[in-house]
């Protein structure tokens, strides 16, 4: 599975969009980009994932560059409850290996 690089921390004003970047320059053609977040040392929570097209769900949007070497998670209207550590991981979707490796993530702090 490809390695990812994320900024250590970011701040965002409440009500504004939070844009969290992730670099995955060694991503392979069959690897998906997944985003999770972890609030207050709880178990990580799935947010969104994609292969090459941009994706949107009720929580966030995922923008993947055309060369797939980087992506951005967008929380359109950040709230204080979005303060968390956000993890970007890449892994092959259809593989019998199935393992997922998490890095250190980005600590997002949403401020009033």
Partner 1 sequence: NAGVTQTPKFRVLKTGQSMTLLCAQDMNHEYMYWYRQDPGMGLRLIHYSVGEGTTAKGEVPDGYNVSRLKKQNFLLGLESAAPSQTSVYFCASREQGDTEAFFGQGTRLTVV
Using CB under 8 A, pick the residue from 11, 77, 103, 111 that binds partner 1: 103
Using CB under 8 A, pick the residue from 2, 18, 27, 87 that binds partner 1: 87
Min. distance of Cβ 26 from partner 1 in angstroms? 17
Residues 6+ apart with CB under 8 A from 89: 1, 4, 33, 34, 35, 36, 100, 101, 102, 103
Using CB under 8 A, pick the residue from 14, 61, 63, 102 that binds partner 1: 102
**Half-sphere exposure for 89 (CA within 13 Å, toward CB):** 19
CB 89 within 8 A of CB 98: no
Residues 1-30, one symbol each (x = binds partner 1 by CB under 8 A, - = not), give ------------------------------
Tokens found for residue 94:
């259809």
* Residues lying near partner 1 in the complex (CB under 8 A): 32, 34, 36, 41-46, 49, 51, 85, 87, 93-94, 96-105
């Amino acid at each position: 599975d490809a390695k990812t690089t994320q900024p250590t921390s970011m701040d965002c004003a409440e009500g504004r969009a939070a844009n969290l970047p992730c670099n995955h320059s060694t991503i392979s053609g069959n690897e998906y980009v997944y985003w999770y977040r972890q609030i207050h040392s709880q178990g990580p929570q799935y947010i969104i994932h994609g292969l090459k097209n941009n994706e949107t769900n009720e929580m966030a949007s995922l923008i993947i560059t055309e060369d797939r070497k980087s992506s951005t998670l967008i929380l359109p209207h950040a709230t204080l409850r979005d303060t968390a550590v956000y993890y970007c991981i890449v892994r092959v979707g259809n593989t019998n290996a199935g393992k997922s490796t998490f890095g250190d993530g980005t600590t997002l702090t949403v401020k009033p």
